[in-house]
């Protein structure tokens, strides 16, 4: 049974989606705009342009930073103004789709990227490990895990 529309959002979800994820998105925006060479080098050192980032790449990196900021503001503000689980679920379904896209985006680096965590650098932990954590956390919320008024019941057919 799904949680009621007025169900109190459990503290873990509020911590992750109102604070941890927005701060991580802000850090991504700062790196994408202000530390472009570092961001690109950490993403894929072999194909990074080096210390001098081409203008076209710089423009795209700044656009990425802008999208990160927009996402951060939307997540931090929309989810703060409501405890309506329907709003939270709708918003987090969209972010779960984005998680899949984010994970897909690193495929050109090789399949090892998805499971060889011991080879990951800082940005890989953000692009893969942290996204795994966020996706699992979103799925848990979507299934009502941790909600007091949401006992798991199997429907008889």
pLDDT tens column, 48-85: 999 999 999 999 999 999 999 999 999 999 999 999 99
pTM (predicted TM-score) = 0.88
Q: Percentage of the chain with pLDDT > 70?
A: 90
What is the pLDDT confidence band of residue 148, given thresholds at 50, 70 and 90? confident
76 and 22 in contact (C-beta within 8 Å)?
A: yes
């Amino acid at each position: 049974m799904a949680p009621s529309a007025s169900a109190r959002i459990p503290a873990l979800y509020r911590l992750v989606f109102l604070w941890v994820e927005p701060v991580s998105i802000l850090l991504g925006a700062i790196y994408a705009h202000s530390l472009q060479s570092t961001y690109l080098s950490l993403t894929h050192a072999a194909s990074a342009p080096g210390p001098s980032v081409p203008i076209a790449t710089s423009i795209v990196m700044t656009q990425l930073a802008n999208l990160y900021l927009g996402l951060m503001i939307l997540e931090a503000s929309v989810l703060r103004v409501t405890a309506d689980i329907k709003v939270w679920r709708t918003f987090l379904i969209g972010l779960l789709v984005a998680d899949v896209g984010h994970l897909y985006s690193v495929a050109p680096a090789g399949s090892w990227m998805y499971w060889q965590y011991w080879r990951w650098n800082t940005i890989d932990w953000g692009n893969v490990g942290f996204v795994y954590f966020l996706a699992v956390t979103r799925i848990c919320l979507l299934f009502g895990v941790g909600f007091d008024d949401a006992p798991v019941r199997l429907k008889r057919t």
